[in-house]
Chain A
Amino acid sequence: MAVDPVADAGRTKWSLTQAAFDGLLDSLGPDRDAAASRYLEIRRNLVRLFEWRGCATPDDYADETLNRCARKIGEGDEIRDLATYSIGVARMLLREMSRDRSREARPLDEAPEPRAPAVDVAAGSVVHLECLRRCLAELSPENRTLILNYYQGEKGEKIKNRKSLTAMFGIPANTLRMRALRVRERLQLCAANCIERPKGNRV
């Protein structure tokens, strides 16, 4: 049994054991590889959910959610759809988080002004810019044109740019939007990997 009786008494924090983790994976199906992929997908969705709700440490909250699910399974609860169940647990955690916040709440008048003013576009850090330029150079010319034009300019100009791009690529606006988003995500991942590497290794 994965559950620590001391933790049951609420005195110490329950922590995930190998047996509890195995139980969690078992609840996702008999094929271990498929269960592991499903587990990672559920965790990704949980991180997303906590991020959308403005949580400061989405990864930690996603892990805590999965720990609670594993604990329930270890206690003998049958969970038929872990994905849906975990979202429910996550929302409970969010309510706890919100209760904790409201304890520290202050009237709006006393709240500080936004911590950062509207960011100066020219303020992109040198490392970010260096990495982004490297990653842009790795894109196909078509994708580079798309990403640079899709996100270029301010409100009215941006709309005009996007119209020109739908005409240029001959695809509907929604398809263009999704394509631009995918290129943006790929570019962001590439830039993040580049930034994380020590300077001499940013190739």
Chain B
Amino acid sequence: MRSERVDEMLLVRYLLGELTEEEQVRVEDRAFESRDYLGALDAAEADLIDAYVRGELTHEQRRAFEPRFLVSPQRRSKVEFAKALAQVSDEAKAAKIPAMQPRQGWSALLALFRGWSPALQFAAGMAALLCVAGGIWVMSQNAAMRAQMAAVDSQQQQLRLQIEQERKRADTLAAQIPKQQPSASPPAPSVPSVALLVLSPGLSRGDNRVERLVVSPAMQIAHIDVQLEARDYYPSFKAELRTRGGQEILTRSSLTRHRAGAAYAISLDVPATALTAGEYELALKGIAAGGPAEDIGFYYFRVQKQ
């Protein structure tokens, strides 16, 4: 028990940058060697961030914490998350955490209702009536929105059909190429074979349409073209590719847009080996001069291995 306590303090001191280089190296090496130790370090980090957002750190600890935890986007998001978690868990406490309470069913609710004064009962009845009316209004709005979505879906269906036809035409042309080569000619020099994926903005670029990228064993590079909308004008762009589970695959910065027909697009190449079969999310951000990265859209696609 004693050694655990000492170790815990060591981890906190490590996270606050209070250890010597040798001590830091020892902590890091142990964390990379042992999953348990890595877990303890992650847990110590979570507790430290919680202590910060709850104002439980000393002045010196806060001074050490801020330059290390408020500089990188990853750690800032951990701090933001801890703030929200602290607030939500305190709200749950104030509400005596319904999840912790045994479920008592309608009888308990009715008993509670009967215990109220007539005025309170009347107010509750009116509130219930308002809820029902609100529900009906929301449902009617929902129906109207669904009709709009259906119309846009139909347009998108047509566009997809066109893309599919173009793909088929490209496949046919590609199949004809070897036939046109003389049979006795020497083999062509090996060039990286490329899988092509075009991601276009939909109704909302966060919508659930999923494009497909077929990667054969011979493919070396996946070339991804992300089409932009006219309003997407930034000096540079950043693309973050991750699995739908959130596992980061790669990040490309300093991307610039180029002409693609009548519109603009950005392009990036991804080593095919970095893509396993599954669903992916590509987050595109625009970077204004001297400004922070702004979200432009999220594009989804599925990788199929042949």
Contacts and interface: CB of A to CB of B under 8 A. Distances in A.
A28 to B, nearest CB: 10
Contact of B273 (A35, A54, A57, A129): A35
B28 A121 contact: no
Nearest to A57: B72
B199 interface: no
Nearest to B99: A145
B84 A132 contact: yes
Contact of B99 (A83, A87, A141, A189): A141
A9 interface: no
Contacts of A201: 204, 206-207
Given A33-B273, A115-B70, A124-B84, A148 B99 contact: yes
A188 B54 contact: no
B39 A178 contact: yes
Q: In this complex, which of B52, B53, B86 has the most chain A Cβ atoms within 10 angstroms of its Cβ?
A: B86
A91 interface: yes
B32 to A, nearest CB: 6
Interface residues of A, number: 72
B6 to A, nearest CB: 15
A59 to B, nearest CB: 5
Q: In this complex, which of B88, B253, B274 has the most chain A Cβ atoms within 10 angstroms of its Cβ?
A: B88
Interface of B: 14-15, 17, 24-25, 28-29, 32, 39, 41-43, 46, 50, 52-57, 62-63, 66-72, 74-75, 77-81, 83-90, 92-93, 97, 99-100, 192, 204-207, 220-221, 245-249, 251, 253, 271, 273-274, 276, 281, 283, 295, 297-298
Contacts of B249: 40
B57 A118 contact: yes
B246 A193 contact: yes
B25 A121 contact: no
Nearest to A177: B43
8 contacts: A18-B192, A25-B271, A36-B271, A36-B274, A152-B92, A154-B54, A187-B81, A191-B84
Contact of A178 (B28, B43, B66): B43
A59 B50 CA distance: 24
A51 B43 CA distance: 15
B14 A181 contact: no
A149 B145 CA distance: 39
A33 B276 contact: yes
A60 B24 CA distance: 21
B67 A54 contact: yes
Interface of A: 18, 21, 25, 32-33, 35-37, 39-40, 44-45, 47, 49, 51-60, 63, 83, 87, 91, 114-116, 118-119, 121-125, 128-129, 131-133, 136, 141, 144-145, 147-149, 151-155, 177-178, 180-181, 184-185, 187-189, 191-193, 196-198, 200-201
A121 B273 contact: no
Given A132-B88, A152-B93, A196-B295, A181 B74 contact: no
A192 B14 contact: no
A48 B79 CA distance: 16
A118 to B, nearest CB: 4
A39 B39 CA distance: 21
Given A59-B251, A125-B84, A136-B88, A144 B99 contact: yes
A133 B88 contact: yes
A188 B72 contact: no
A52 B63 CA distance: 16
Given A36-B273, A181-B39, A191-B84, 7 more contacts: A18-B192, A128-B84, A145-B100, A148-B92, A152-B92, A187-B81, A188-B77
Contacts of B69: 54
Nearest to A115: B66
Contact of A32 (B83, B221, B273): B273
B84 A58 contact: no
B28 A49 contact: yes
